Structure 1
Amino acid sequence: MPIIAAAVSLVLLQSAGEKLAAAEQDRLDACVSRIESEPEEAYEDGLAWTFEGNRPGARQCTALALIALGHIEEGASRLVSLANAADGGTLEQRAAYLSQAGNAFIEAGAADDALAAFDGALKIAPDAPELLVDRASAHFLLANYDKAIADLDDALSRMPDMGDAYQLRGQAWLAKGEPDKAMADVTAAMAADPENIDVLVLRGQVREAQRIEAESGGPLERISGN
Structure 2
Amino acid sequence: MSLIAALTGSVLLLQTLGADLARAEEDRLEACIAKIEVSAEEAYEDGLAWTHEGNRPGARQCTALALIALGNYDTGANRLTQLARSTDGGTMEQRAVYLSQAGHAWLQADAPETAVVAFTEALKLAPGTVDLLIDRAAANIVLEKWDEALADLDLVLSGLPDDVTSRQLRAEVHLNKKNLAAAKKDVDAALAADPKNIDTLLVRGRVREAIRIAEDDGELVVVSQ
Tell me which interval the TM-score lies in, with the shorter structure as reference length.
Answer: over 0.9
**Which residue is 1:218 aligned to?**
219
User: CA-to-partner distance for each residue in 1:2-35, whole Å, 9 max, x for gaps?
Assistant: 3332222111111111100100100110111111
C-alpha spacing 1:11/1:44, structure 2 compared with 1 (3 Å): same
Separation in structure 2 between the aligned mates of residue 139 and residue 194 of structure 1, nearest angstrom:
27
1:61 Cα deviation from its structure 2 partner:
0.3
Where does structure 1 lack aligned partners over 5 or more consecutive residues? Answer: 221-226
Shift of 1:173: 0.7
Distance between the aligned counterparts of 1:192 and 1:29, measured in 2? 33
Q: Report the Cα distance in structure 2 between the residues aligned to 1:67 and 1:190, rounded to whole angstroms.
A: 34
1:141-180 paired onto structure 2 within 5 Å: 141-180=142-181
Q: 1:224 maps to what in 2?
A: none
Name the SS of the counterpart of 1:53 in structure 2.
coil
Deviations 1:114-154 (A, max 9, x none): 11111111111112111111111121112110111110110
Moved runs in structure 1, 4+ residues, more than 4 A? none
- Percent identity at matched positions? 56
Q: Map of 1:82-101 to 2, 5 A cutoff?
A: 82-101=83-102
Secondary structure of the residue aligned to 2:53 is helix
Aligned-pair RMSD on alpha carbons? 1.5
TM alignment of 1:18-33, pairs within 5 A: 18-33=19-34
Aligned to 2:74: 73
CA deviations on 1:43-63 (whole Å, 9 max, x unpaired) are: 111111111111000000011
CA distance in 2, matches of 1:210, 1:105: 34
Letter in 2 for 1:155: V
Q: Distance in 1 between matches of 2:191 and 2:133?
A: 20
Shift of 1:157: 1.6
Secondary structure of the residue that 1:174 maps to in structure 2?
helix
Q: Give the aligned length.
A: 220
1 CA distance for matches of 2:67 and 2:176?
A: 34
Tell me how far apart the structure 2 counterparts of residues 181 and 146 of structure 1 sit (CA, whole Å).
Answer: 14
Cα deviation digits, residues 135-183 of structure 1 (max 9, x gap): 1112111211011111011011222221111111111111111122111
Q: Scaled by the length of structure 1, what TM-score is found?
A: 0.93
1:154 maps to amino acid: L
How many angstroms apart in 2 are the aligned matches of 1:196 and 1:77? Answer: 35
Cα distance change, pair 167–65 in 1 and its aligned pair in 2 (3 A): same
Corresponding residue for 2:206? 205
Aligned to 2:125: 124
* Contact 1:56-1:88 within 8 A present in 2 as well: yes
Q: Structure 2 regions of 5+ residues with no counterpart?
A: none
